[in-house]
């Protein structure tokens, strides 16, 4: 049997590469596995040799100790891989297929899956609707920052690429299909971005940059990205975005300098619950800042897409309310302006094939937009540290040395 190694969470600020079991046709007990999922048969699944697997900002929330993630949890939900084994119940996915793995785990059978709401599948997580690989409170499915990973319900979940050689030539773009490109795109779609829109995206991390690229693909006239880190703002400018340095004060003032008005048509929150203040409070955590700011600067009748992560348990929250995910929102502002809000996991399968086609036919260069940077599995702990320090890069782990330099 093949060996398997993975990046594991070892407590606040600590990750390491450990030996973990090679995937089997049954979900075994382990860190974070819901007891009701232990022993679950996986004959509908496929085992993938991981080609690329990315470090996500959502992983960083766990690694910072800002969730209730257990030590020993194998991390990673952004996965692209080659099928090396299929379960007895798999009909259409074949050994040798190179596939993108949506970070949502979905059964394909429940009401929500049939309605394309694959981010809130009812059958894969006994704790709540929705699941993901290597993530806290998501049922305990083993993460994919590893050499090999099990993908359940393979016929439904996997997106095979039509030509393996073509896919490998664009693998640094295609690896973004598992999460951040559809997630950023979903934020823009739900914010109502279309031809001629003006858009403000809060956050110039990888999801914010992916949202910016998605807004351009949707035909936005002006895409404005706000952040505190100049390197990240420079990355946004590198592919045609306007930028706002929120450390300099209220984003509306800088938006007015760009547009001539203090409001945009559409707002996207790509920051989430670890948001910081604006202006003089920019170095202090203020988790409601982004949402309240977006309500202020989005025009009446507009919409907010909220792909940024918010949690129900945050041990590092600034107060007792924040530790439970309760924030001081100016909902009256949103109500008075008739704003719409969309939150939650992106239903990746709603978008991933279309975005794959955009990549394959050179309609978008998402790897360039997010500054995709290849590292080895053994370099993953340093990648986490660099990403946490604000590096304007999207780290792509290459466990088997499959990606050309």
Domains and CATH numbers, the chain: 5-179+347-398 (3.90.180.10), 180-342 (3.40.50.720)
* Percent of the chain residues topping a pLDDT of 90: 90
pLDDT category at 52 given cuts 50, 70, 90 is very high
- Separation CA 294–CA 278 (nearest Å): 12
Pairing of strands 15-19, 5-9: antiparallel
What is the token pair recorded at 159? 């997106």
pTM of the complete model: 0.96
Confidence band, pLDDT 50/70/90 cuts, at residue 316: confident
Residue 312: predicted pLDDT: 85
Report the SS3 class of residue 349. Answer: helix
Strand order in the sheet with 242-245: 242-245, 222-227, 198-202, 264-269, 298-305, 340-342
DSSP 49-110: EEEEEE--HHHHHHHTT-S-PPTTPBP--EEEEEEEEE-TT--S--TT-EEEE-SB---S-S
* DSSP per-residue letters across 276-303: B-SGGGTTSB-TTHHHHHHHHHEEEEEE
Beta-bridge mates of residue 395: 373
Q: Which residues contact 89 (CB under 8 A, 6 or more apart)?
A: 43, 44
Distances (CA, A) of 226 to 52, 274, 293: 29, 15, 11
> What pLDDT shows up at residue 405?
64
User: Which tens digits make up the pLDDT trace of 260-278?
Assistant: 999 999 999 999 998 888 9
Write down the pLDDT at residue 290.
Answer: 94
Q: Please tell me the predicted confidence (pLDDT) of residue 275.
A: 87
Helix (H) or strand (E) holding 112: helix 111-114
CA dist 335 and 326 (Å) reads 19
Average pLDDT over residues 132-137: 96
Q: What is the mean pLDDT of the chain?
A: 96
Q: What is the pLDDT of residues 15-26, one digit of tens each?
A: 999 999 999 999
Show the tokens assigned to 346.
């992106």
pLDDT (tens digit per residue) in 35-51? 999 999 999 999 999 99
Token pair of 353 as six digits: 């094939």
Structure confidence by residue, pLDDT tens digits, 274-295? 888 898 877 788 889 999 999 9
User: Residue 2: pLDDT band by 50, 70, 90 thresholds?
Assistant: confident
pLDDT of residue 324 exceeding 70, the answer is yes
The H-or-E segment that residue 213 falls in is helix 206-217
Residue 18's beta-bridge partner residues? 6
DSSP-assigned letter for residue 369: H
| Residues 269, 342: Cα–Cα separation, whole Å | 10
1 pLDDT above the threshold of 60: no
Percentage of the chain lying above the pLDDT 70 cut: 100
For range 63-91, the mean pLDDT: 96
Three-class secondary structure of residue 204 per DSSP: coil
């Amino acid at each position: 049997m093949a060996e398997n190694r993975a990046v594991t969470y070892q407590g606040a600020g600590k990750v390491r590469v450990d030996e973990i079991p090679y995937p089997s046709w049954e979900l075994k007990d382990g860190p974070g596995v819901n007891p009701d999922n232990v022993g679950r048969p996986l004959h509908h699944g496929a085992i993938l040799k991981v080609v690329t697997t990315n470090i996500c900002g959502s992983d960083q929330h766990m690694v910072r100790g800002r969730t209730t993630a257990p030590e020993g949890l194998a991390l990673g939900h952004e996965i692209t891989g080659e099928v090396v084994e299929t379960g007895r119940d798999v009909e259409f996915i074949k050994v040798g297929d190179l596939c993108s793995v949506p970070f949502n785990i979905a059964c394909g059978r429940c009401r929500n899956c049939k309605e394309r709401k694959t981010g809130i599948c009812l059958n894969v997580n006994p704790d709540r609707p929705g699941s993901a690989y290597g993530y806290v409170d998501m049922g305990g499915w083993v993460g994919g920052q590893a050499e090999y990973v099990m993908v359940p319900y393979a016929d439904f979940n996997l997106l095979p690429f039509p030509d393996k050689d073509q896919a490998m030539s664009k693998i640094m773009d295609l690896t973004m299909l598992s999460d951040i490109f559809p997630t950023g795109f979903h934020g823009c779609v739900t914010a109502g971005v279309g031809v001629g829109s003006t858009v403000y995206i809060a956050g110039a991390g990888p999801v914010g940059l992916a949202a910016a690229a998605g807004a351009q693909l949707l035909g936005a006239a002006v895409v404005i990205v706000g952040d505190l880190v100049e390197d990240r703002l420079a990355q946004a400018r590198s592919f045609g975005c306007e930028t706002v340095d929120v450390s300099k004060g209220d984003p509306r003032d800088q938006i007015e300098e760009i547009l001539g008005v203090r409001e945009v048509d559409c707002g996207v929150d790509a920051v989430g619950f670890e948001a910081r203040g604006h202006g003089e409070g920019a170095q202090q955590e203020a988790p409601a800042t982004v949402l309240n700011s977006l309500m202020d600067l989005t025009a009446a009748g507009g919409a907010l897409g909220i792909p940024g992560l918010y949690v129900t348990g945050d041990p590092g929250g600034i107060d007792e309310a924040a530790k439970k995910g309760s924030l001081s929102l100016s909902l009256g502002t949103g109500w008075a302006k008739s704003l719409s809000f969309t939150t939650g996991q992106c239903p990746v399968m709603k978008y991933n094939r279309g975005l794959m086609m955009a990549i394959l036919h050179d309609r978008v260069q998402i790897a360039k937009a997010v500054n995709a940077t290849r590292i080895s599995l053994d370099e993953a702990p340093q990648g986490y540290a660099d990403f946490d320090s604000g590096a304007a890069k999207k780290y792509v782990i290459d466990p088997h040395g499959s990606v050309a330099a």
